[in-house]
Amino acid sequence: MKITAIETLVVNAIHRNWIFVKVLTDQDGLHGWGEATLEWKTKAVSGAVDDLSGFVIGEDPHRIEHIVQKMRRFSFWPLGSIGLTALSGIEQALWDIKGKALGVPVWQLLGGRVRDRVRVYTHLLQARQDRLVDHRDISAFCDAVQETVELGYSAVKLGLVPYSGYDAPLPAVRHVEKLSNAIRERVGTTVDIMTDFHGRPDSVHAAKAFIDVIAPIRPMFVEEPIQPGDAEGLAQLSRMVDCPLATGERLLTIQEYAELARLRAVTYVQPDLAHCGGISGGRRIAAIAEAASMGIMPHNPMGPIAGAVSLQFAAATPNFVIQEEAVGLAPWFGEICQNDLFGLTDGCWSIPEAPGLGIEIDERAASRHPYAPEIIPALDAILPDGRIANW
């Protein structure tokens, strides 16, 4: 069997474009899907897929690790976020092909499933862009959290902190305290609440000020409390607060995760399988995390193929904890899938039994939502003095 071509299919999802990667073979009808979505880098990633295809076409798709090494090493320059995202989409598609060719789900190729279902969490109102709620309106925000839980989720991730800087103004801290307490009172103790700081605080002490007022509601974790890449700062912060920390969506390499593990800097790691080298990269990161008694929670606010990949990975990964999803990101999320993998039962996804990733894309339906310039939410990330903030 040989790879004959690699194609990209771009589907608009309002504030990002999903980039689907289709790897074709010389076996009639046998192809694989991957996802290489990278926010606001659509054309660059699509071009990188084309660049990497020269290393892949003509290869046997069963030789997944060989092809990954070829893309990495023959590229000479470190691939970075754009190149690794392109590689990840191709790598995922190879697993899909192999599973289909052998007639088994991908989780079977990863050693078999280690759980019977996969717990998931979503964003406020499933991240629907037409129903954004300002966190400054505590009552409306709590209403939205309650509505999200009533959709069938037992865990919700929320943005609670404002754009910040090196300090944490007391009025902002007090508002976050009131908001956090109101949310916990509204949903009770049976719902897990997690919050994503998006690296907004510029200092450990600013992050600590916000975490200290959130910690009493016992969040499952605080994500990216400071900018990614500062493992020493995260380790320092983790010793200062009474709250689990998590990071990883903007980390790409095993070396970065090895540093987190060495310092025991966080409780949970969150690699994105569309950026960190696909399933192969995710498995390496999971092993590093497991050696340091860290759980793994794959990052995934993206499209249906990314969701299918994460589901297969979660089924076979012992230190997996919970999976991020965003099925409400665009109204046509389910429209372009020929398989329904994402039905909720008690806040969990079921383990798929179909060969490969268990998902097919309806290309005709997808073509109704072509590339379009994204709505970029970061454009209002301005501090009171006019300085650009981390968003």
Active site residues: 198, 299
* CB distance 309 to 277 below 8 Å: no
Q: By three-state DSSP, how is residue 287 classified?
A: helix
H or E element at residue 192: strand 192-196
* CB distance 246 to 297 below 8 Å: yes
- Alpha-carbon Rg for the chain, nearest whole angstrom, is 20
* CB distance 198 to 390 below 8 Å: yes
First to last CA, the chain: 46
Separation between Cα atoms, residue 258 and residue 287, nearest integer Å: 10
Separation between Cα atoms, residue 144 and residue 141, nearest integer Å: 5
**Which own/partner contact pairs does 232-238 have at CB distance under 8 Å and 24+ positions apart?**
232/263, 232/265, 233/204, 234/260, 234/263, 234/265, 234/266, 235/263, 235/264, 235/265, 236/204, 237/204, 237/207, 237/208, 237/211, 238/264, 238/265, 238/266, 238/267
> Regarding beta strands 268-269 and 3-12, do their DSSP bridges make them parallel or antiparallel, or are they unpaired?
unpaired
In the chain, helix, strand, coil percent, each to 5?
40, 15, 45
* CB distance 310 to 316 below 8 Å: no
Separation between Cα atoms, residue 199 and residue 207, nearest integer Å: 9
